[in-house]
Chain A
Amino acid sequence: DAGVIQSPRHEVTEMGQEVTLRCKPISGHDYLFWYRQTMMRGLELLIYFNNNVPIDDSGMPEDRFSAKMPNASFSTLKIQPSEPRDSAVYFCASSPSDEQFFGPGTRLTVL
């Protein structure tokens, strides 16, 4: 198995632009998580899905952030419009139960 796949690996954009991050979880995993990591705030859970249904989105910073999981093999995290404070590493993780398997992350820089 290729593990959790995220794209792009790096994204540099200008303030105000729309950013879409993509994730392909490990096949058979029922849970999918989106995290954000910064030096100041550490690893923060943004939202997670169970069987493609959003369960807890209390970590989503504001309405500029949205996440979807249209099927078991694909999820997106969208930021519109992006702001410099959104610069961070965004991780997607999938899980069959307890252990979470993380993707390599997308390093986002908003100028």
Chain B
Amino acid sequence: RKEVEQDPGPFNVPEGATVAFNCTYSNSASQSFFWYRQDCRKEPKLLMSVYSSGNEDGRFTAQLNRASQYISLLIRDSKLSDSATYLCVVKGTTDSWGKLQFGAGTQVVVTP
């Protein structure tokens, strides 16, 4: 079983609509959680960290559910520029300080 699992998509979303997707992780001792964004043929870039209480950054909302071991990302009022692959990222225990586990990514395609 992979440590971080994501639905690969694609999620086809009309412009202006809301899209949400989850990611599950296997290590219950995981310490930190992030969403990265990767555009086609570009490098991954940090979108947002995910905090236990949930957090928002503009149109993006991230939630963490430790009991069920999943994190979610919700994008409101989707823009064409939101089309990208969203990578779920989990940081392990203190034994693997610095090491991140990346999911395979969820592709989002926003259409006009």
Does chain A bind chain B?
yes
Footprint of B on A, CB under 8 Å? Answer: 31, 42-43, 45, 48, 50, 55-56, 91, 95, 97-105
Given A100-B46, A102-B44, A105-B43, verify A50-B98 contact (CB < 8 Å): yes
- A-B pairs with CB below 8 Å: how many? 42
Given A98-B34, A105-B43, verify A42-B99 contact (CB < 8 Å): no
CA distance A100 to B97 in the complex (A): 13
Residue interface mask B48-73, A partner, CB < 8 A = 1: 01000000000000000000000000
- A102 to B34, Cβ gap below 8 A? no
CA distance A98 to B105 in the complex (A): 19
- A104 to B42, Cβ gap below 8 A? yes
B13 within 8 A of A: no
Kindly list 9 other residue pairs between chains A and B, CB separation below 8 angstroms, not including A43-B44, A99-B34, A99-B49: A43-B87, A45-B99, A50-B97, A91-B43, A91-B44, A98-B32, A100-B44, A101-B46, A102-B45
B102 within 8 A of A: yes
B91 within 8 A of A: yes
Instruction: Determine which of B42, B99, B105 lies in contact with A56 in the assembled complex, contact meaning CB atoms within 8 Å.
Output: B99
Residues in chain B near residue A102, CB distance under 8 A: 43-45
Which residues, 69 to 112 on B, are CB-close (under 8 Å) to A?
A: 87, 91, 96-100, 102-105
A-B contact pairs, 22 of them (CB 8 A): A42-B103, A42-B104, A42-B105, A43-B44, A43-B87, A43-B102, A45-B100, A48-B98, A48-B99, A50-B97, A50-B98, A55-B98, A55-B99, A56-B96, A56-B99, A99-B34, A99-B46, A100-B44, A100-B46, A100-B100, A101-B46, A103-B43
Residues in chain A near residue B34, CB distance under 8 A: 98-99
Give, as a whole number of angstroms, the nearest-CB distance from A29 to chain B: 11
